[in-house]
Every structure is written in structure tokens, then in C-alpha cells.
Amino acid sequence: MISKQKILIIGNGGREHAIGWKVAQSSRAGKIFFAPGNGGTSQIGTNIDIKATDISKLLEFAKKEKIDLTLALPDDPLALGIVDEFRKQNLRIWGPTKAASKLEWSKAFSKDFMRQHNLPTAKFEIFNDFEKAK
């Protein structure tokens, strides 16, 4: 018999809702939690009042609830290194590491990467000074 897994999905958008909806269809899915979730996700699982960026509280929740798998989807927790932190605690998490997700959460890094590797992209300049940007 296949055991049912407890799943934690980080985020509160449509992407998290869609993935949660699909996960819920699996015969291996047990209880599904969303942090923080939204009105739609509450129809699929349980919303918990923890911000997607509050990594210490998410770690605490995952340990307390014995979460089998966490899905990290939004840019902000990825940029804060949520995957790296969960792995340090030997907790199963799906998502890219902070370094690997930099292409997604740092637009300046992404554009520089594209320019360096001759990848097609719109013209751009990167400014750290408002006056120079004018």
C-alpha cells in the first residue's frame, strides 16, 4: 500500500492553486497545506498563516507537521534561499537553490547573462543611481 504524503506548497497565487489542484488528484497525496494560500487553495487543502518569505516559521511548520515534500514556487522565498535552508535541515523540498534561481529573481543578472552569452533580449541598461538613469 502506498502511503499518503503530506505536502506543503509555498505561495498564494494562481500557479500554487493550479499545482495544488493537480497534486490533490494523485493517489499519493494526503494532506495538502498552502502557505499562505488564497481563497481557491482553501478549497483544495489547508491554508496556513505563514508568509512565503518567513523561512524560519516554514521550517518549524514542516518539522512539526512532518511534511513529506515542500514545493517552493515564488521568486521571493527562492531568492531568500528557502531550498538551501530546507536541505540543510534534511527536509525534502522541490525547487531551485538560491544560486540556481538567480536567473528568475534578479532581472539585472538575467539580462547580463543573456548579453554575455549572446542570447536574444531587448536592449537594456542597468542603473544603480536614479540621476544617471535619467
Domains of the chain by start residue, with CATH: 5-100 (3.40.50.20), 102-134 (no CATH)
Please report, as a single letter, which amino acid is at residue 6: K
What are the DSSP calls for 63-75, one per residue?
HHTT-SEEEE-SH
Q: What is the mean pLDDT of the chain?
A: 95
The answer to whether residue 134 scores a pLDDT higher than 80 is: no
The answer to whether residue 1 scores a pLDDT higher than 70 is: no
pLDDT band with cut points at 50, 70 and 90 for residue 104? confident
pLDDT band with cut points at 50, 70 and 90 for residue 27? very high
Torsion angle in degrees (nearest 10) through CA of 73, 9, 46, 48: -70
Strands of the chain, DSSP E: 5-11, 29-36, 46-47, 69-72, 93-94
Mean pLDDT confidence for 62-78: 97
The answer to whether residue 34 scores a pLDDT higher than 70 is: yes
Residue 38: how many CA atoms within 13 Å on its side-chain side?
11
Please report, as a single letter, which amino acid is at residue 108: A
CB count within 10 Å of CB 111 equals 17
pLDDT (0 to 100) of residue 10: 99
pLDDT (0 to 100) of residue 8: 99
- Alpha-carbon distance of 23 to 124, in angstroms, equals 39
Instruction: Enumerate residues 6+ apart whose C-beta is below 8 A from 25.
Output: none
More confident residue, 21 or 133: 21
